[in-house]
Every structure is written in structure tokens, then in C-alpha cells.
Amino acid sequence: MARCEVCFRHCEIEDGKLGFCMARTAVKGQVKAANYGRLTGIALDPIEKKPLARFMPGSKVLSVGSYGCNLRCPFCQNSEISWAPDVKAFTGTSEENVRFVTPAELVSIAERYVNAGNIGVAFTYNEPLVGYEYIRDTSKLVHEKGMKNVLVSNGTAELSVLEEILPFIDAMNIDLKGFTEHYYKDVLGGDLRMVKSFIERAVKDCHVELTTLIVPGENDGEDEMRELTSWVASLKDKKGNTIGTEIPLHVSRFFPRFNMLDRPATEVSKVYRLAEIARENLRFVYTGNC
């Protein structure tokens, strides 16, 4: 058995088996990323799609994803690559649905698109941190070529993982999916305290933007938005200066999908109202999917 140290689950993994995220395995008592270099998606996207509103606007970024996730959001937009058992299609020996790309090969692909406006590589689509070793190895090479690295993450990872990649990440969009322990634990299968710690550390050395998807009946209360944005506004840089009011927040509209089909899409007026409340504490608030 080997103990995985990526997130709060600390899975004990038998040799040849997979952890909860379906992306990490054990080999001779050592935890390895089973999804290392195995890409399920690659596309040249506008930077605003990450979403990042205040990092090199108007540019494009080569977006790549693998498979696996350490949360189980019932409304997942990419369940086929994130949620077990759907993700099992990618964990066997068949390469029909994946493309193996080494870090050096991915950097070469990114370079080819520089003339098309590409600024670098974005690690996204599934939860990238369940295969953080690939991010670490690739992002080093991306920086050596003078390009940028972007991480789109749920922020559910130990700070030791963040420290390994943080020197090479130029911008992040982190999901702050709600602001109650109940929502994180009982609906998403996550840990709010871990996400908050991750965000607190990330903002000290990286451009960070946050996204909150507003799910009717779950995290759409006005008081919760005030608490969430008050906490964000209190965040500090490494010198102890308060910088949180400058952190962009994307307030996004929910649409029913996957295993959460029991409620309608969030009313646009509700998204706008919560964005208005967020602006009481934060300078840069954007609405999405409206």
C-alpha cells in the first residue's frame, strides 16, 4: 500500500490499483500519476474562456486536459473525463481515447501556435492537480521557451503540491464553489478548508481569479455571497498587505446537466443580483453563462 499526499483524501493505494481520483496509482509502493502525459483534450482557446479576465486579455492559450478528478460535483460539465465510472474508459491499456504527449512534445505544439496568438499552455478540462507531476515538468519547459502557464483548478490539493508548481504558474482560475462546509462536503465531496488554504497561498505569488457557479437551492443565498466575498477581500500578499479586493471573481450561471437535472438553470436576474452583492467587497466581478 502507498499513501497519496495530493489532497485531503490521502488514499491508501494498492500496487496496480487506482485512488479515488482514478488518476493516481501505486507502483512498487510508490504513488505515481497514472495519467501522466495522457491527454484527452487539446485546443487553442481564448484566454477569457478559462475564465481569466485580467490576465493578457485578447490572447489565446493552448488548453490541455487529461482525466481524473478528486471531487464528484453532480453537475460536472466534463464527467466523461472527470467522474468515475465514466473515466474508466481512460484508465486501461487502450489508447483510443487518449493521446500520449511528452512535456517536450507539448511545448513544441504550443510554439507552433505562437503566430496564432498563443501565449503558452493552460492545464484544464479535468482536475489538473491529480496529475501535478506533468504540470511541473511541462511548465518548466514552457517557461524556458518564454511562454506562460495557466492552471484551472478546483484548488483541492495540499500546499506541498502547490509549492512544486507555483514557481512556474503565471495565472490561475480557482473554483471557490461555495462557502459552506455542507455544500463542499455533502454535495461536492470536497473540503472547503483545503480550498481556502490553497487560495490563500496562491495569491501571494500568482495572478489568481476565482469562479463561483451559482446553483439554485445550494449556494445562491445573498448572505453566503457576502461572506464569500468578505473573505476574498481579506486576502493578503506575502508582505501582509491586503490585496483581496483586487482579485477578480466570476459569478457563473448554472445549467442542469449530468446528475443534477432536478432544477432549472439559475435565473439570470439572480446571477446579476449576486454579482452586485459581490461588488460591495470586490472591485472586479464578472458574470458568466448569462
CATH number at residue 274: 3.20.20.70
Whether 154 maps to a domain, the answer reads: yes
Q: Which of left, alpha, beta for 118 (phi over 0: left; psi -120 to 50: alpha)?
A: beta
Whether 15 maps to a domain, the answer reads: no
Question: What is the DSSP pairing of strand 41-46 with strand 38-39?
Answer: unpaired
**CB within 8 A of 105, min separation 6: which ones?**
none
Q: What is the pLDDT of residues 119-151, one digit of tens each?
A: 999 999 999 999 999 999 999 999 999 999 999
Question: What is the DSSP pairing of strand 249-253 with strand 285-288?
Answer: parallel
| Domain extent at residue 84 | 35-288
How many other CB atoms are found less than 10 A from the CB of residue 255? 13
The CA distance from 34 to 17, in Å, is 10
pLDDT category at 97 given cuts 50, 70, 90 is confident
**CB within 8 A of 262, min separation 6: which ones?**
256
Whether 251 maps to a domain, the answer reads: yes
Residue 284 host element (H or E): none
Question: Taking 90 as the threshold, does the pLDDT of residue 90 lie above it?
Answer: no
Q: Which of left, alpha, beta for 194 (phi over 0: left; psi -120 to 50: alpha)?
A: alpha
Q: What is the pLDDT of residues 158-179, one digit of tens each?
A: 999 999 999 999 999 999 999 9
Question: Taking 50 as the threshold, does the pLDDT of residue 93 lie above it?
Answer: no
The CA distance from 225 to 266, in Å, is 15
Q: How many domains does the chain have?
A: 1
Whether 183 maps to a domain, the answer reads: yes
The CA distance from 75 to 256, in Å, is 7
Q: What is the pLDDT of residues 270-288, one digit of tens each?
A: 999 999 999 999 999 999 9
Cell of 52: 481569466
Report, as an integer, the average pLDDT of 37-52.
Answer: 97
Whether 27 maps to a domain, the answer reads: no
Pick from 174, 142, 151, 133: which is nearest to 5 by CA? 133
Whether 1 maps to a domain, the answer reads: no
Whether 11 maps to a domain, the answer reads: no
**Confidence (pLDDT) at 54:** 98
Whether 12 maps to a domain, the answer reads: no
